[in-house]
Amino acid sequence: MNEQKGLAQMKDAEGFTVRDQDKYQIRSTGYSSDRFGACECCGKHVSEVFILNHQMRYDDPELGPSWTYYGNIGMKFGHEACLKRLVAAFVVAVA
């Protein structure tokens, strides 16, 4: 577990890595750029395309805590390493 402020991590029941204010999942599509196109981060060909699903915590006054795609990375396709760098950069940007 990462002990830096704001970076505590755990897995939820759906397999998402959950941090203080966001959660994400990176998984393989089983296909290459031939099907999904170039990496959305670096623009290069990808032999095994991964998908990033990123959501932010949203505290609704009436409904309580929930998750939203609004105001975050959302869904991206690309190299696993590129997607991990994107998530890490997002943490720095909002911290």
Mean pLDDT by 10 residues, the chain (95 residues): 46 74 90 96 97 86 80 87 89 56
Domain extents in the chain: 10-89
| CB contact at 8 A, 54 and 90 | yes
Residue type at 36 in one-letter notation:
F
pTM over cut 0.85: no
- Between CA 53 and CA 48 the distance in angstroms is 16
Helices (H) and strands (E) in the chain, counts: 2, 6
pLDDT of 49 reads 97
CB 59 within 8 A of CB 76: no
Rounded distance, CA 14 to CA 8, Å? 18
